[in-house]
Homo-oligomer: A and B are copies of this chain.
């Protein structure tokens, strides 16, 4: 339930309402609108006495919340969340482009890629130090050494880092290096991990599971938010279907739907969705036209030598060309890179 305070409600009246509902056992979520304050009550299992609340000083009315994702939903938080990282703002009119290799393979490979991303106008560097792989016999990432290389690349280029964390025990380690903690698609419902990043201080990029509904994605975000971290970025990265030409099917409907249902920023990963570098550019443009707040794109200086996912990686020159086209579509949408 949301309590809408009257436009002129005093700080004392607001504090009074909050104190009262907390006494009853509710947790609250405060939201400052343009001319009034809204107080959201999170699920407590307790029945709510709306009449009693509406008789309190300064209260205008109450609205039931139907969305099961109380904190991630727009009902209790109508304005967009904007997540700031260094100078970047994710979720306002700018489009943020995160780019880099699937995996950190070596210092040379990453620094070369980072410079190329920077030169082309990319805003953040992506790259996996810990890699979830279907086979226990495949390359699993460089681990902590990979994190150190990422940090060096940030120092050299100024690009903030987004990198995956795969288990709750590793959150504190990865958080020493990363600017954004990425939760991979396979871990979208790893609740211990969601809990752990919910207590971290970095923003979280939460990828939609390849088998997860949009509602489940928002409920996974709710886990993180309900543990205290309110800086979550949602990421559409393709779902599984019967189609064989692409690795997964990018669900761009998810972009306007998530923007409608939630106040959180939404980014799109066309590289993993399609598994084909030659589809990355058109789908990146489409994602921006559909309303995405950003993109996360695989770039590799030598895709044919990549240890993982080479087929879906853009060469630097194609990435540069894409950045120019994105600029034009962003402008047409009233946004900017």
Contacts and interface: CB of A to CB of B under 8 A. Distances in A.
Contact of A189 (B186, B215, B273, B285): B186
A274 B286 contact: no
Interface stretch (A98-106, A133-141, A153-161, A172-180): A133-141
Contacts of A136: 219, 222-223, 226
Interface string A238-275: 01111111100111110111001000000000000110
A132 to B, nearest CB: 6
A92 interface: no
Contacts of A255: 282, 286
Interface string A125-137: 0000000111111
Interface string A267-306: 0000001100011001101111111000000000000000
A141 to B, nearest CB: 11
A211 B240 contact: yes
A187 B193 CA distance: 11
Contacts of A250: 251-253
Interface in A206-226: 209-216, 219, 222-223, 226
A287 B285 contact: no
A190 interface: yes
Given A189-B132, A249-B249, A253-B273, A282 B278 contact: no
A167 B167 CA distance: 9
Contacts of A166: 191-192
A251 B256 contact: no
A10 interface: no
Contacts of A240: 211, 240, 242
Nearest to A187: B190
A43 interface: yes
B242 A211 contact: yes
Contacts of A287: 286
A311 interface: no
A71 to B, nearest CB: 9
A68 interface: yes
B246 A257 contact: yes
A134 B241 contact: no
Given A134-B219, A282-B256, A328-B332, A241 B244 contact: no
A70 B165 CA distance: 28
Contacts of A209: 211
Contacts of A278: 256, 260
Contacts of A328: 332-333
B285 A289 contact: yes
Interface string A163-207: 000111100000000000000001101111000000000000000
A211 B240 CA distance: 7
B137 A42 contact: yes
A331 interface: yes
A213 B244 contact: yes
Contact of A239 (B212, B241, B245, B333): B241
